[in-house]
């Protein structure tokens, strides 16, 4: 697993429709930047992300890259809504409906559908997706099913992905998972995963995949403003104000807000990979170039702490070591 991964929600037309050609070029731009880890899910564009990712990687050596996908939502054909837009924020027709399923049968069916859409005979990592409202079924049924698939060699690794750090923490404590994907809970804007989740993962040897590091887009621009998304909806004024304050400190030290966000997201020793989304090849090239740049100066992090904009106990990148 590479230190940087491509998050593929945008390949499923998250917020904005893109062409198949743009999707393929975005994957190629990430590949050219050295990325070999790609994260997708049936949820992303009702399977569109998986289909596009599989097509974009076709012809590349299978052992050269790692793919994760997710279980928890089955895609059920819905002819009656096929002419309507998808209500979940993806610009696709609602030809399928998402049906929550954390049963053993649901896990097997979901994985089979993903393999078919990806055009692959295996994936490397399977994550239980957003189990926060279904934690009992996810622990008692989905997890044992994935544990068995891992023991049989059907998948190489298993884990959980969520925006809720406490949910992930419970799986780390109570199961034998290999990885967690924490989305939006360990970013330059907010660090609740630092309370318990990241230390627990470090103790137990569970790899942390840090996703949503731009908080749905708010930290992806140099000057945050009203109307940008946060938590997949319009950011509240208080959150925009905090992001602006962070950006102001970064600018004083000659650092862009996205660059600082990416540098911070990788600094904790529990984090195995930072998963970065991109909508176009140009965006991918920019993001991965920023992530590969030398880290910001120590004075910038110190000023953020002094202004109450960053937790004092959050690890920051060491420019000298880099």
User: How would you label 94-122 residue by residue, b for 16+ Cβ within 10 Å and e otherwise?
Assistant: bbbbbeebbbbebbbebbebbbebbebee
Helix axes 237-252, 298-306, angle to 10 degrees: 140
Catalytic center residues: 44
3-class SS shares of the chain: helix, strand, coil, % to 5? 40, 20, 40
User: How would you label 293-318 residue by residue, b for 16+ Cβ within 10 Å and e otherwise?
Assistant: eebbeeebbebbeeeebbeeebbbbe
From residue 185, how far is each of 132, 163, 164, 209, 311 by CA, in Å? 14, 6, 7, 11, 13
Residue carrying structure tokens 């140009």: 282
CA–CA separation, 303 and 61 (whole Å): 46
Which phi-psi region, left, alpha or beta, contains residue 274 (left: φ > 0; alpha: ψ -120 to 50)? Answer: beta
DSSP lists the bridge partners of residue 99 as 74
Q: What length is written for the chain? A: 322
The token pair that represents 227 in the structure block: 């109307």
């Amino acid at each position: 697993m590479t230190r940087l991964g491509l998050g593929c929600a945008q390949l499923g037309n998250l917020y904005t429709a893109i062409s198949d050609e743009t999707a393929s070029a975005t994957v190629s731009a990430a590949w050219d930047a050295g990325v070999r880890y790609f994260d997708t899910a049936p949820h992303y564009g009702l399977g569109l992300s998986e289909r596009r990712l599989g097509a974009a990687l076709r012809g590349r050596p299978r052992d050269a890259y790692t793919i994760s996908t997710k279980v928890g939502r089955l895609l059920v054909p819905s002819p009656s809504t096929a002419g309507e837009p998808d209500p979940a924020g993806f610009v696709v027709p609602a030809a399928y409906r998402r049906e929550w399923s954390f049963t053993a049968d649901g896990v097997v069916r979901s994985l089979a559908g993903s393999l078919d859409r990806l055009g692959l005979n295996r994936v490397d990592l399977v994550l239980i997706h957003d189990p926060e409202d279904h934690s009992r079924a996810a622990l008692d049924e989905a997890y044992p099913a994935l544990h068995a698939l891992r023991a049989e060699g059907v998948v190489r690794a298993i884990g959980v992905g969520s925006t809720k750090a406490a949910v992930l923490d419970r799986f780390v404590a109570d199961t034998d998972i290999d990885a967690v994907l924490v989305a939006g809970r360990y970013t330059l804007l907010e660090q609740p995963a630092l309370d318990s989740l990241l230390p627990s993962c470090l103790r137990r040897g569970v790899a942390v995949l840090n996703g949503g590091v731009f908080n749905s887009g708010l930290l992806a621009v140099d000057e945050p403003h009203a109307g940008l998304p946060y938590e997949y909806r319009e950011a509240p004024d208080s959150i925009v104000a905090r992001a602006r304050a962070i950006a102001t400190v970064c600018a004083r030290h000659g650092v862009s807000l996205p660059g600082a966000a990416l540098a911070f997201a990788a600094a904790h020793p529990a984090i195995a990979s930072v998963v970065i989304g991109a909508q176009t090849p140009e965006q991918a090239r920019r993001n991965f170039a920023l992530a590969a740049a030398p880290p910001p100066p120590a004075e910038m992090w110190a000023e953020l702490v002094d202004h109450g904009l960053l937790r004092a106990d959050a690890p920051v990148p060491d420019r000298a070591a880099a």
